[in-house]
Amino acid sequence: MFSDSPFNDGSNHESFMRAALREAEAALEEGEVPVGAVIVHKGRVIGRGHNQRETLQDPTAHAEMIAITQAAASLENWRLEGCRLYVTLEPCSMCSGAVVLSRIPEVIYGAADPRAGACGSVLNLVQNEKFNHRAIVVPSILAEECSAILGEFFRRRRKDDR
């Protein structure tokens, strides 16, 4: 299911995932589900985002979607070839579809999403042979830290609901 990266360059997966975690922390501060994403091109962050569904009242305002929009604007191209998506939570089907359509060649995520993950947990859209583009998936980078921030959010939410 998961392949070796063609970017086998001793990449800084952990440092870029930490940048995504900073985005997740921003979401947490805003009362959003704390998911963060960054898109890297040639070793530089060109797109970043965190969940803003509640803030924008937009069901598509996922961290990945915002980061993809910024990256496309940065490159002035909707084709994000040569980019990596770092995201703290395994992308859902909408975001995985955007990965395929934007031709991002590699997805690196932290925490798996056993309820909605579309990079291998529930289904695997980004590696579906029927699509003309497939992405390499690198799971579990800083998974404990990525899971911890989500756990903190849901603990707070349950406490507030009492």
pLDDT band at 75, cuts 50/70/90?
A: very high
pLDDT at 11: 64
User: Exactly one of 23, 32, 64, 90 is catalytic; which is it?
Assistant: 64
Is 64 an active-site residue? Answer: yes
Round to whole Å and give the CA distance between 94 and 80: 17
Residue 162 has pLDDT above 80, yes or no: no
Residue 6 has pLDDT above 50, yes or no: no
* DSSP β-ladder status, 83-89 and 36-41: antiparallel
Of residues 8 and 64, the one with the higher pLDDT is 64
Tell me the per-residue pLDDT of 92-147, one tens digit each, with 9 for 90 and over: 999 999 999 999 999 999 999 999 999 999 999 999 999 999 999 999 999 999 99
- The answer to whether residues 81 and 105 touch, using CB atoms and an 8 Å cutoff, is yes
- pTM assigned to the model: 0.92
Tell me the per-residue pLDDT of 61-72, one tens digit each, with 9 for 90 and over: 999 999 999 999
Q: What token pair was written down for 125?
A: 């859209």
pLDDT at 29: 95
C-alpha radius of gyration, the chain, whole number:
15
Cα 29 from chain centroid (whole Å): 18
